[in-house]
Amino acid sequence: MIPVKQTIAFDEGSQVLGNCLQAAVASIYELPIEAVPHFVQFQRWGEALKLYVEDRGAQLLLWTRDEPKDRPLLAFGKSPRGDFRHAVVWQKGKMIHDPHPDGTGLDGPPDEYWSIVPEQGLTPSPQTRHESSR
């Protein structure tokens, strides 16, 4: 994981969508932010993310807790900057990277964890995960 900062902040007044998810995915893939789509600009952004990951030979899995411990996860929760969601990179029970320039993370614990799992990688049990259908 190489930290990448987001370049667009959410602006409630103009409804500009921030690119924290784009930066978090770029961080996990160790790519420049320009090499990763700004997923939330798509109406079905979860599906766009899933297709992006699948095109790279992996699966996108939604977890009910911060598993697996052996890889960075996308973690989602309330932003400390307003009434909207934010994405960070999480591993082993803690945030390891906040793409937002102020680095304040989430307002409270994450409520969702998504992992990018290589096809030959970990297959979690059905009790702890289900595939993303967003």
DSSP state of 100: S
User: Is 1 a domain residue?
Assistant: no
Can you tell me the distance from the alpha carbon of 46 to that of 4, in angstroms, rounded to the nearest whole number? 20
User: Is 9 a domain residue?
Assistant: no
pLDDT of 13 over the 80 cut: no
Range of the domain at 75: 20-131
Give how many domains the chain has, as a whole number.
1
Q: What is the mean pLDDT of residues 71-84?
A: 92
pLDDT of 63 over the 50 cut: yes
How far lies 63's CA from each of 30, 91, 111, 118, in Å?
22, 13, 10, 16
User: Is 52 a domain residue?
Assistant: yes
User: Is 4 a domain residue?
Assistant: no
pLDDT at 77: 95
User: Is 58 a domain residue?
Assistant: yes
